[in-house]
Chain A
Amino acid sequence: MNHSYASLNRREALYGLGAGLGTVALNSMLKAVEAGATTGVAHHPAKAKRCIFLMMEGGPSHIDTFDPKPDLTKHHLKKFKRSGDMESAMSSGDRYFVKSPFDFIKAGRSGADISTEWHYLKEMVDDMCFYRGAQVDSVNHPTACYQLNTGNRFGGDPGIGAWVNYGLGTLNENLPGFVVLPRTSYPQGGAANWSNGFLPANFQGTPLRPTGSPILDLNPPQGVTRERQRKNLDLMSTLNKEHLGHRPERGELEARMNSYELAYRMQMEVPGILDFAGERKSTLEAYGIGDAKTEAFGRKCLLARRLVEQGVRFVQAYAGNWDSHDYIERAHGSLIRSVDKPIAALLGDLKERGMLDDTLVVWCGEFGRTADNGMRGGSTSYGRDHNPKAMTMWFAGGGTKAGHTIGATDEIGAEAVECVHHIRDVHVTLLHLLGLDDNKHTYYHAGRHKQLSQFGGQVISELLA
């Protein structure tokens, strides 16, 4: 809650007001103040102006995607003993090592490690920066998802997209600045993963739903025409003006009236963005739209490109569920096939349009996976458990170091050992790439200046171009 400011800088003052005004008023106000500036109020010049965050929910296995562990072949099916803090969480019954079912190659000029399942993405590795040093605190999905998305394991804090928009503002008055493309099934922890937390509500992630009404209640119930709506709005406006006339000093009343007009306009705008009719056939094909295997994520990737083109600052697209405790060959195999082509197309498309330089693309899950597995269903089924100590994430564009692999994990992929950073440093780095300084990008709430990294962190300079 934001009842008292210790000190008000200009941005805070504006957004503080924004809490009571709604996006249009806020953005026009920002524009007036910035005198034509279109990039909001970044702390330092930055390459990345926007971000597409590909959230691989469930925890993809680094060992079976981008971080090969040939040693596991030697240990395959040998007994494994877990010790230390994680003991009680995943140590029931017998455990054994599991080798990756996939082959790996060194791809591109950079020779990046990649499993051969990635038929399309392997062509793009020279544009990507792989990072193997990140660690998180939680071994459970919802807490790990919250931590990845909001910095706080226990939920209730603003999502990264909310922080970015709070810092930079949106570029399109008629669209939300933070759009989420969830799967049909919401992740563990639900919509709190894209919450505005304690930031004003206009920074909340707006989910564009894959089925049904893209934005909840975007359209009136069946049988209500647009003309009928317009007439109702007009009656409302007449009566509201009478009421407002007696209370001219109450700005929030007028802001509320404007928000109805914005909602009315959104009814027109949003369907246009969702309509792919204007896209070339080859583009649709490239994203895998039209093929049942890739359709769902292909649509999300294409939509992400269209949204950032329209000025949306932060798009987060969900794919999954990567929680492959069993049958990793089959499960990870089909998941990779469902995202491989769309992601490669997205990177290629952004590049072709000259947008990859100033668009930061992030790919990661909430944690990585273990080198071992327990007995499942009384038999050995080759899968992997959750691993907060090691994971692979990758970045493309937006000022990241293309064609490099940064950091390393130990010989079985159990723990990061090189360029090791807590996830908070990844958050600080993301903000840095977008021109925001985590230590300055704070919001006074409940007696403390809160920040995405929670308590501050450092930029992982190795990731920067």
Chain B
Amino acid sequence: MSLTSGLWAGEVTEGEKLFALKVKPLFAEKCHACHGDDPDKIKGDFNMLTRGALFKGGDSFAEEVVILGKGEESFLYLVTTRKEKDFEMPPKEADRLTEEEQGWIRDWIDHGAPWPDDKRIALIEEKYAEGEVVATSQALSADWQNRRYETTQLWAYRPLNAPDVPAGKNPIDWFIDKKLAEAGLEAAPDAEARHLIRRMSFNVTGLPPTPDRVKSFASAYAKHPGDAVKALADELMATPQYGEQFARHWLDVVRYADSAGFANDYTRPNAWRYRDYVVRAFNDDKPYNQFIREQIAGDEIDPADSEMLIATGFLRMGPWEQTGMSVFKETRQLWLDDVTDSVGQTFLAHAMQCAKCHDHKFDPVPTRDYYRMMAVFSTTQFSEREAPFLEEENRTGFAQSEEWVKAKIAGYQDQHARLLAKVKAQKTQESGEAKVGNNGLDPGDEASMSRLSKNLSRHKWELDRTRPIAFSVYTGNTIPVKSVSKRILLPNQPWGKGTMEQDRILAGGSAYSPTDPVTPGALSAAQSLGRMETHDFPAGRGSRRLALAEWISDRENPLTARVMVNRVWAWNFGKGIAGNPNNFGGTGAVPTHPELLDYLARWFMDNGWSVKKLNQLIASSELYRRSSRHPHPSQVRERDAKGRLYATLMPRRLTAEELRDAILWSSGELNLQVGGIPARPDINTEVALQPRQIMGGTASVYEPDTKPEHRNRRSLYAEKVRGLRDPFLETFNQPGPDKSCELRETSTVAPQSLTLFNTEEMQERSVAFAARLLAAGLNDLKTIDKAFELALGRMPSSSERSTCLKHWQAATQEEQGKIYKPKEFINWTERTVMAEKTGEPYSFIEFMPAFRNYEPDTQMADVDARTRGLSQVCLVLFNLNEFSYLD
């Protein structure tokens, strides 16, 4: 650095420093968009590009904008305080200046508002600037390229930095206890055995423990808590339900669904194979780096391996459709945006969409990076590919499924044929000028023609459900299609028809505004700050996705392992070490225990990227068995107000799926079969029959599976239709499958009470539970005991026992003499909707083949008064706080 005396004449003043380092960048970031960048559109005629222009003021203020030496009175400062009514600046709350930032402007004015020239600013920056400039690919603006980041915001991009842990110490406890000791806060004691086993059982498998296991665990835990917990964790992780539970977490992140959403909401008949792939991956403890590679680039790794093709279903999990009414260029772009963002959030904890239209506002992610990553996918094409079933895949229920789908098709075809004959006979030539539908046809019939053919398309596509096809991709040219209403076949020549897309930055994110060309790549900041070795990304016909997958799963990638161990931590403890598992950028919460996060990330990779081993490490800590209750709650509130130190563990409510599964488990109805085609459980009848519009008509009615054992499978397997959510699961905060969910919400609203207290499904579960209890042939008191053990994992207190017994007896009394008629199941329904052509309602009959031989669950009519009476106690047990909340 050479300082010429001319430029450096005089000491740099505080005011100059403030301007060069703080105020000028602040103006550029927050003000210039409206007050300088576009000379033709200067808001309020107030230009802030030069000192002269700024001092002139604008329409609303004149010289009072800056009163030299009087920051407090200058409007430039006052407007940023947001206390000047109608002049809150910047106008967007999201852009508001912090008090510190407001202070810079005030102090700068107090110091005489100096405005050094660019050269002097450059020198001041060189000498005094704090924060860091991050080397990235090229930004859209020079200001952005040179912008400085607070060092603390860049933690996620730096190489892992984990100190050693003294020999013999559990690393998790070492890091956690250190912070607790610093805060002078003592950890809560070990949890009670029955609370702990219930919590562990739900956390690892999503199901409650058996009463026997509760007892055996309690005695083992009393002797050697550590050993007992380790044994239980290993045992639970060896059950297939472990893979199901962890798959559910993963599927939340990737937005799994069995339908495509939007106007047609067509079925995705083969998506289930991806869901089962994820379950297998966790159960087989597939190394996470391999899990990444397969989902992003399985087809490029080995297209002959079904597993590899199935894995790439990940890339297509978002909602997407192409109809005759949509522009292919736009829907193609929609997917490219979706997959870029999804890969970013899932594996790198970066919401890439923030950099789609402009360089990222907070993070070192230039728009160029966004389009470089998008270029990785521009040769990725959709196809439902031949993929022979693997031995591990569950193929039970294929016959029933096919039978039902064929019955649906036959029903619609029959209706269609009869209607067609009628239409042919009745149709007359429209007459005259005023063609208003005087073609002799009943408008309802016309609407039905279109409705039937749409539902036929859907169900014919659904025949693919049991075929050896993978919801997958291939690499090749882009071939525009007009509409997609059946499987997309693999072209013989992937580089034959169609064109190779041009990879360009799109101005404003618009597919119609291509600008600079880009080549495939990834996050340049992770590369530079993480000191990764350079990766080659092929362009042209190369395996672009494989290159990205290798880049993401590179041991030196600073983000990847951190992101996954943080997720696994959150799945175990209900919150991440870094608070936003999908967002490691500057707007996400910084890690509470950064050293621990880094230690675990390194440990994870050193141990073969094994999620099971990571879970074992977590389970081996004292933290893992900590109580959720502290002997001195006030001490915790005082010394850890934000609950970051893990003096206690967080109690939690069961998720929607856990709640439904636990109820079915208690009632003895849960079918624990693993994997396979989606199950169709009973859902609220009114919702099942509720007509919903799809393009060209009304979607075919929801029908449950015929047999109880198919309906009563784990909720993970319930068919997930984007346009028709199961109200039970939705009410209990099951996230919608359109956006990635990093962690579940827990809200408490009245409809949850209505659902759990009033639905027929809950009545049936309660009756089944009561029948199960009575089938054991115990005396009344022992029956109540058993009910508590199955539902709550504990014995009742003596007062609880006698209260429940009285309730049972009184309810039985009421039930005596009551007659319940068995429910009737009719295999058709009449629906009334609006005919598009006439704007008038019309009705039609829809057949429901599932109800031809529907086998109901246990009903009130099937059981005696004593069972019905007990079912009232069972219903109450299912509704208790204790049933829904884990300690």
Measured CB to CB, the closest approach of chain A to B388, in angstroms, equals 35
Measured CB to CB, the closest approach of chain A to B440, in angstroms, equals 13
Partner of A259, one of B263, B588, B690, B749: B749
User: A282 at the A/B interface (Cβ < 8 Å)?
Assistant: no
Q: Contacts of B443 on A, CB cut-off 8 Å?
A: 330
Residues of A within 8 A of B (CB): 1-4, 6, 19-23, 58, 85-90, 92, 101, 139-143, 154-156, 183-192, 195, 200-202, 204, 206, 209, 212-213, 215-221, 223-224, 228-229, 231-232, 235-236, 238-240, 242-244, 246-247, 249-250, 252-253, 255-257, 259-260, 262-263, 266, 320-327, 329-335, 338, 379-382, 386, 437, 439-442, 446-449, 451, 456
**Contact between chains at A334 and B836 (CB < 8 Å):** no
Having A141-B693, A215-B751, A263-B751, one finds 8 other A-B pairs with CB under 8 Å, namely A85-B512, A89-B325, A190-B725, A221-B763, A223-B860, A330-B436, A330-B838, A448-B587
User: B214 at the A/B interface (Cβ < 8 Å)?
Assistant: no
User: B506 at the A/B interface (Cβ < 8 Å)?
Assistant: no
With A327-B837, A439-B92, A446-B582: A217-B263 Cβ-Cβ less than 8 Å:
no
**Contact between chains at B434 and A333 (CB < 8 Å):** no
**Contact between chains at B882 and A243 (CB < 8 Å):** yes
Q: Contacts of A238 on B, CB cut-off 8 Å?
A: 803
Partner of A325, one of B92, B585, B739, B836: B836
User: B853 at the A/B interface (Cβ < 8 Å)?
Assistant: no
**Contact between chains at B724 and A190 (CB < 8 Å):** yes
User: B879 at the A/B interface (Cβ < 8 Å)?
Assistant: yes
Interface residue ranges of B324-356 to A (CB < 8 Å): 324-329, 334, 351, 354
CA of A21 to CA of B749, assembled, Å: 8
CA of A430 to CA of B35, assembled, Å: 27
Q: Of the 9-residue stretches B113-121, B146-154, B804-812, which lies at the interface with chain A?
A: B804-812
Q: Of the 9-residue stretches B49-57, B397-405, B533-541, B754-762, which lies at the interface with chain A?
A: B754-762
Partner of B881, one of A192, A223, A244: A244
**Contact between chains at B820 and A447 (CB < 8 Å):** no
Q: Contacts of B693 on A, CB cut-off 8 Å?
A: 141, 185-188, 321
**Contact between chains at B876 and A239 (CB < 8 Å):** yes
Q: Contacts of A86 on B, CB cut-off 8 Å?
A: 327
CA of A259 to CA of B747, assembled, Å: 11
**Contact between chains at B684 and A217 (CB < 8 Å):** yes
Give me the 8 closest cross-chain CB pairs, A-B, nearest first.
A449-B94, A201-B747, A335-B839, A185-B691, A447-B587, A263-B753, A327-B437, A334-B839
**Contact between chains at A1 and B93 (CB < 8 Å):** no
Q: Contacts of A183 on B, CB cut-off 8 Å?
A: 834
Measured CB to CB, the closest approach of chain A to B352, in angstroms, equals 11
Residue ID in chain A nearest B743 by CB atoms: A1
Q: Contacts of A441 on B, CB cut-off 8 Å?
A: 93
User: B692 at the A/B interface (Cβ < 8 Å)?
Assistant: yes
Q: Contacts of A332 on B, CB cut-off 8 Å?
A: 839
Q: Contacts of B92 on A, CB cut-off 8 Å?
A: 439, 442, 449, 451, 456
Interface residue ranges of B551-607 to A (CB < 8 Å): 575, 579-580, 582-583, 585, 587-589
**Contact between chains at A88 and B327 (CB < 8 Å):** yes
**Contact between chains at A256 and B833 (CB < 8 Å):** no
**Contact between chains at B326 and A1 (CB < 8 Å):** no
**Contact between chains at B588 and A327 (CB < 8 Å):** no
Residue ID in chain A nearest B727 by CB atoms: A216
Q: Which residue, of A19, A22, A217, A327, has the highest number of chain B Cβ atoms within 10 A?
A: A217
Q: Contacts of A19 on B, CB cut-off 8 Å?
A: 745, 747
Partner of B694, one of A188, A259, A263, A440: A188
CA of A40 to CA of B750, assembled, Å: 21
**Contact between chains at A380 and B748 (CB < 8 Å):** no
Partner of B754, one of A187, A217, A240, A456: A217
Q: Contacts of B887 on A, CB cut-off 8 Å?
A: 247
Q: Contacts of A141 on B, CB cut-off 8 Å?
A: 263, 693, 695
User: B430 at the A/B interface (Cβ < 8 Å)?
Assistant: yes
CA of A326 to CA of B696, assembled, Å: 12
Interface residue ranges of B148-190 to A (CB < 8 Å): none
Partner of B327, one of A89, A219, A244: A89
**Contact between chains at A247 and B629 (CB < 8 Å):** yes
CA of A180 to CA of B271, assembled, Å: 33
Q: Contacts of A334 on B, CB cut-off 8 Å?
A: 838-840
- Please give the number of chain B residues whose Cβ is less than 8 angstroms from any Cβ of chain A in the complex: 111
Residue ID in chain B nearest A5 by CB atoms: B589
Measured CB to CB, the closest approach of chain A to B800, in angstroms, equals 6
With A216-B727, A447-B587: A140-B325 Cβ-Cβ less than 8 Å:
yes
Q: Contacts of B727 on A, CB cut-off 8 Å?
A: 216-217
Measured CB to CB, the closest approach of chain A to B683, in angstroms, equals 11
Q: Contacts of A215 on B, CB cut-off 8 Å?
A: 751, 754
**Contact between chains at B435 and A382 (CB < 8 Å):** yes
Chain B positions 298 through 336: 1 when the CB is less than 8 Å from some CB of chain A, otherwise 0: 000000000000000000000100011111110000100
CA of A335 to CA of B482, assembled, Å: 31
**Contact between chains at A156 and B752 (CB < 8 Å):** no
Partner of B436, one of A231, A323, A382: A382
**Contact between chains at A250 and B651 (CB < 8 Å):** yes
Interface residue ranges of B229-276 to A (CB < 8 Å): 261-263
In the assembled complex, 25 residue pairs joining A and B whose CB atoms fall closer than 8 Å, in A order, are A4-B589, A20-B746, A58-B836, A85-B512, A101-B436, A139-B327, A142-B263, A154-B334, A188-B262, A189-B262, A206-B751, A213-B686, A216-B754, A220-B757, A231-B810, A232-B875, A259-B753, A326-B437, A331-B838, A333-B839, A381-B435, A381-B437, A439-B91, A447-B351, A447-B583
Measured CB to CB, the closest approach of chain A to B732, in angstroms, equals 10
Partner of A260, one of B327, B757, B803, B872: B757
**Contact between chains at B435 and A380 (CB < 8 Å):** yes
Chain B positions 687 through 705: 1 when the CB is less than 8 Å from some CB of chain A, otherwise 0: 1001111110010000000
Q: Contacts of A220 on B, CB cut-off 8 Å?
A: 757-758, 763
With A4-B579, A185-B692: A330-B881 Cβ-Cβ less than 8 Å:
no
User: B736 at the A/B interface (Cβ < 8 Å)?
Assistant: yes
Residue ID in chain A nearest B255 by CB atoms: A156
User: B862 at the A/B interface (Cβ < 8 Å)?
Assistant: no
Q: Contacts of A101 on B, CB cut-off 8 Å?
A: 434, 436
Q: Contacts of B754 on A, CB cut-off 8 Å?
A: 215-218, 263, 266
CA of A39 to CA of B325, assembled, Å: 43
Q: Contacts of B434 on A, CB cut-off 8 Å?
A: 101, 329
With A201-B733, A239-B876, A329-B434: A259-B748 Cβ-Cβ less than 8 Å:
yes
User: B723 at the A/B interface (Cβ < 8 Å)?
Assistant: yes
User: B832 at the A/B interface (Cβ < 8 Å)?
Assistant: yes
Q: Contacts of B691 on A, CB cut-off 8 Å?
A: 184-186
**Contact between chains at A228 and B354 (CB < 8 Å):** no
Partner of A221, one of B325, B723, B758, B838: B758
Q: Contacts of B482 on A, CB cut-off 8 Å?
A: 88
Partner of B836, one of A212, A231, A255, A331: A331
**Contact between chains at A188 and B263 (CB < 8 Å):** yes
**Contact between chains at A154 and B741 (CB < 8 Å):** no
**Contact between chains at B749 and A23 (CB < 8 Å):** yes
CA of A256 to CA of B654, assembled, Å: 13
Measured CB to CB, the closest approach of chain A to B485, in angstroms, equals 15
Q: Contacts of A2 on B, CB cut-off 8 Å?
A: 745
Q: Which residue, of A23, A140, A327, A439, has the highest number of chain B Cβ atoms within 10 A?
A: A327
